[in-house]
Amino acid sequence: MKRLLTGFSLVAIGLFLLSASPKKEVKATQTEINWVTIEEAVKLNQKEPRKWVVDCYTSWCGWCKRMDKETFTDPLIVKEINKNFYAIKFDAESKKDITIGSKTYKFVPQGSRGHHELAALLMGGKMTYPTSVFMDENMKVIQPLAGYLSKEQMLPILMFFSSNTYKSTEWNDYLKEFDSPYSELK
C-alpha cells in the first residue's frame, strides 16, 4: 500500500496547493458534515459500503477545535465527505465502550488522562491530535494522518482516497496533476 505523507510533504502540499490553479469548478451545496458514531457507520456500511474518515480528537486540543472551525465547515470539504465517506467524530479519550462485531474496545487509564483502545488501534499507537484516519469500505485503515489539516490540504487527500487513486498512484505524482479550487477563491 502506498504511504501518503511525511512531515516535510505536509508543508510542500500546503505550498503547492496555494499556487495551484483550478481546471474544473467544484460547487458545494451542503452546509454541515453528516457526522455519525462508529456504531452507526458500521450499520450504514452494511447497507451501503463507503470509505470512512475518522476525526480522532480530544476536548482539550486547540488544533482539533481549529480544524472543526476552519476545515470541517468548508463547503467543498463538506460536500466531498458527505458524498463519498462516512464521517466519524471520535473522542480519543472517550470512556465509553465500543463494540464492533465480537470485539469490545475500552478506555485505558494512563496518567492523568488515558486513551481509548480503538483510537490507539486506528492511529497506529501514535496518540497525536488531531489525527484524520482514512478507512476503506471494509473498515481497514488506509492511512492515519496526524496533525491539523487545512481545507487546502484536506480536499486533495479526500479526493485521492475517494477515487481509489491511492491504489495505483504515488501521492506526489497525484499532487502534480491536482488543481486546487481554492487558489481562485483567494
**96 in a domain, yes or no?**
yes
Look at residue 153 and tell me if it is in a domain. Answer: yes
pLDDT value, residue 181: 92
Mean pLDDT of 56-81: 97
* CATH number of the domain to which 100 belongs: 3.40.30.10
| Enclosing domain of residue 61 | 7-185
Place of cell 469548478: 25
pLDDT in tens, 23-58: 333 444 568 999 999 999 999 999 999 999 999 999
Which residue in this structure is represented by grid cell 516535510? Answer: 8
Total tally of structural domains belonging to the chain:
1
pLDDT reading at 22 higher than 60 = no
Secondary structure (DSSP) of 76-124: HHHHHHHHHEEEEEEETT--S-EEETTEEE-EEEETTEEEEHHHHHHTT
Find the mean pLDDT for residues 147-166: 97
Asked whether residue 1 is domain-assigned, the answer is no
pLDDT at position 30 = 64
pTM of this prediction? Answer: 0.82
Instruction: Give the pLDDT score at 65.
Output: 98
